[in-house]
Amino acid sequence: MTDLLRRPTPVARGLEPWEPVPDDPRPDAVLFDMDGPLFDTGTIWAGVVGAMVRGHGGVWLPDDDDAVLGWSVPALCAEIARRGVPLPSDEVAERLHAGVAAVLRRGLPWRPGAQTLLVALRRVGVPCALVTATHASIVDGVVAQLPEGVFGAVVTGDGPSRPKPEPDAYLLAADELRVDPRRCAAVEDLPAGVRAALRAGALTYAVDPTVGLPPDLRADPRLRRVDGLAAVGRAVLAPSW
């Protein structure tokens, strides 16, 4: 396959089998969440949190890493304070962002199938956007490691839009790509992001969700729950996939 990276980054695990999904109409654009669907960053965030807690004399166990996967930055800051770190929350957030950005500058932890899907979408002319709650100081470093034009729009968590689960970020991304959000596909993994994408009107793929989706989301006819990004590719790019 054609690698998107300027330098190869090994993935942590091999490709897995995916459940079949219906062939959906090819979208006018695909809007990707960053943390989870494209990059395995959860352990990076947890590692930075643990290092900060231990650096101030606190205890952080391996099970604590799993407990905070998928948490927002405000929730992580509150947990760090609860563990006894005597720093203002804005300074804690700044240190978290700097720590995660430093790790990602050493290479991107691609999810299996992510590079293949992005290459395939680019080959057939389907534009992509990055729609993330992550701070621009981190996202800019990620995008800088990709060839120019992989994402036609990038919406970050410190922008003017209301955070997920509000649909604003997805609506903004679709507007920047000049497409109707109802003719887009969104790729997410957490309930807040799934809800945001569905509220924007996008056909939404919940890829390997790490947190259970509530019944109202599971019942939405525009939701597709899939195991792995290859299932997304087969659904939105068939028969060219």
Whole-number CA gyration radius for the chain:
18
Provide φ and ψ at 32, rounded to 5°.
Answer: -105, 130
**Sequence-ordered list of residues with C-beta below 8 angstroms from that of 52, at least 6 positions apart, any chain:** 80, 85, 92, 95, 96, 99
Instruction: State CA 103 to chain mean position distance.
Output: 17
Please give the mean pLDDT across all residues of the chain: 88
Whether the CB-CB separation of 136 and 156 falls below 8 Å is answered with yes
Does residue 72 come out as left (phi exceeding 0), alpha (psi in the -120 to 50 range) or beta?
beta
Residues with Cβ within 8 Å of 73's Cβ and at least 6 positions away in sequence, in order, are 93, 96, 97, 135, 157
Tracing tokens 């352990």 back to the chain, one arrives at 43
CA dist list (Å): 21 to 18, 49, 115, 238: 9, 37, 20, 11
Confidence bin at 5 (pLDDT 50/70/90) = very low
Q: What single letter denotes the amino acid at residue 224?
A: R
Residues 174-190: tens digit of each pLDDT: 999 999 999 999 999 99
pLDDT at 166 exceeding the cut of 50:
yes
Report the pLDDT value the prediction gives residue 11, as an integer from 0 to 100.
32
CATH superfamily of 29-39+109-237: HAD superfamily/HAD-like (3.40.50.1000)
pLDDT score, position 210: 64
pLDDT beyond 60 at 241: no
pTM reported for the whole predicted model = 0.86
Q: How is 96-121 classified by DSSP, letter by letter?
A: HHHHHHHHHTT---BPTTHHHHHHHH
Mean pLDDT over 194-201 rounds to 98
pLDDT tier at 69 (50, 70, 90 boundaries)?
Answer: confident
Q: Is the pLDDT of residue 7 over 60?
A: no
Q: Are 39 and 112 spatial neighbours (Cβ–Cβ below 8 Å)?
A: no
* pLDDT exceeds cutoff 60 at 81: yes
Report residue 25 as tokens. 């109409």
pLDDT tens digits for range 92-147: 999 999 999 999 999 999 999 999 999 999 999 999 999 999 999 999 999 999 98
Q: What is the mean pLDDT of residues 142-168?
A: 92
Report which residue type is found at 154. Answer: V
Distances (CA, A) of 87 to 78, 94, 137, 157, 174: 11, 11, 21, 22, 38
Query: What proportion of the chain, given as a percentage, has pLDDT over 90?
Result: 77
Whether 12 has a pLDDT exceeding 50, the answer reads no
Structure tokens at 19: 């459940």
Dist. CA 70–CA 140, nearest whole Å: 20
Q: What is the pLDDT of residue 80?
A: 96
- The pLDDT of residue 2 is above 60: no
Closest by CA to 39, choosing from 112, 106, 96, is 112
